[in-house]
Structure 1
């Protein structure tokens, strides 16, 4: 797409496309997301997207200036889908764990789009909502602002990185995935103890564990570290809650 853009007030198409649908930003994003999962990054072309919508490709400029602008909208929609499935409980640790697992599951539901968008900053409505929500959870838990931002940063990057990593694996052909899984059984599980004592001692655990995502365990480690940090902060401030097990949270 080029850099020309139609003012927002003129973006709504009043006539249906050849397929009888009225174009909207939501419809374009939904269609682009489907095409990416079916065909990969090459699906983000004006011609292919126009054909899928039954619309003149030039009409897409009413909604998005460039394909990158569309990619940012897709990334923001993935964030929105995560937020729409999440409900806070008031327990900061449970809330972040639930949100993180939903972020990861959302990436696996759209693996090709997740790989393309995981490193993008959209500045759009759902991303802004997510930043506000996560910082709110942390600040209400009692984290000072510098700690809240630091933990937010690690939490989001961890979820996005694992989502992209696992999505890349899911997007591989099944035969390639099966071949990689077999390496742990065919190679690592057969290494002799006299040359590789640590691998041999843990081989059965490697075979079982390496076949699944490490994200839930990584997330729990992060939240445990954050809980310990919160207990330290409370202890220094004389907060009686600091005497509790750091894995147990108390909301103000």
Structure 2
């Protein structure tokens, strides 16, 4: 019989696991998701961050998919925090789409997931409700508001997922731009005069500048539908 072990005291890791909850787990995931490691949100790394056995996560989430959807929704809710509708529909939509992008690019690991999924939870519902309210304010009816929302939603999801991928690529993204420019030094300028003349300008456009420019084009197109 081992008399050296304290009576009635669970191992430290078990005690930490007992103190876990969904909120604690999600906060740990947010800390990990702010980095750029490709496997930052593996159950092994989440468990290590929490100081608990990875299997303890299954007491609070049915699986990794449920955890990641909850995490994506938490990020959306963070982006909605403090949102106040603007003086007009266009200001509101612009603000919402910039908020969504900014918060997800702070957590690029989550952004790559959110670009392909719907969370079906509170944060997502708040975003949808705010977007539809702005579009109804603009004068769109029920059906067209839904269509315009889908266009805006897919726009921001796809672009943010793409941008998050660039963040995760790090220096490789800049190297690709450099290779793009240098490759045109050898092209037949008589056959591709416009491309050769424009490649440096195109490569110099930063992703954030590009997103904001495309967003203004989208908003302009939406506004044009209102005056048809």
Band of TM-score, shorter chain: 0.7 to 0.9
Task: Find the residue that maps to 1:43 and give its secondary structure.
Answer: coil
CA contact (8 A) 1:191 1:200 kept: yes
Partner of 1:226: 222
Farther-moved stretch of structure 1 (155-164 vs 104-113): 104-113
- 1:19 deviates by 5.9
Using the TM superposition, name which of 115-124 and 49-58 deviates more. 49-58
Instruction: Identify which of 195, 199, 210 aligns with 1:199.
Output: 195
198-207 or 94-103, which moves further after superposition?
198-207
Instruction: Pick one of 77, 88, 99 that aligns with 2:85.
Output: 88
1:167 Cα deviation after fit: 0.8
1:136 aligned counterpart, secondary structure: helix
Alignment of 1:5-154 (within 5 A): 22-36=19-33, 37=35, 39-41=37-39, 43-45=41-43, 47-154=44-151
TM-score by structure 1 length? 0.76
1: CA distance between counterparts of 2:76 and 2:212? 19
CA–CA separation in structure 1 for the residues paired with 2:207 and 2:55: 44
Distance (Å, rounded) in 2 between the aligned partners of 1:179 and 1:204: 14
The worse-fitting range, judged by mean Cα deviation, of 68-77 and 36-45 is 36-45
Distance 1:196 1:57, change over 3 A: closer
Distance 2:117 2:39 in 1: 15
CA distance 1:84–1:173, change in 2 (3 Å): same
Tell me the equivalent position of 2:204: 208
Long gaps (5+) in structure 2:
1-12
Does the Cα contact within 8 Å between 2:115 and 2:158 map onto a contact in 1?
A: yes
Shift in Å at residue 38 of structure 1? 5.2
What SS class does the counterpart of residue 160 from structure 2 fall into? helix
Q: How many correspondences in the alignment?
A: 215
* Structure 1 residue ranges, 4+ long, deviating more than 6 angstroms after superposition: none
Compute the RMSD of aligned alpha carbons. 2.6
Using the alignment, how far apart are the partners of 2:139 and 2:14 within structure 1? 53
Q: Deviations over 1:68-121 (max 9, x none)?
A: 100110110111111115332131111111111121222221112211222111
2:177 pairs, out of 173, 176, 181, with 181
Instruction: Please give the secondary structure, in 1, of the residue aligned with 2:189.
Output: coil
- Deviation, 1:201, is 3.5
Question: Relative to structure 1, is the Cα distance of residues 54 and 207 closer, same or farther in structure 2, using a 3 angstrom cutoff?
Answer: closer
Answer with 80-89 or 36-45: which moved more.
Answer: 36-45
Change in Cα spacing, 1:188 to 1:50, as seen in structure 2 (3 Å) is same
| 1:204 shift after superposition | 4.1
Residue in structure 1 matching 2:160, options 141, 163, 166: 163
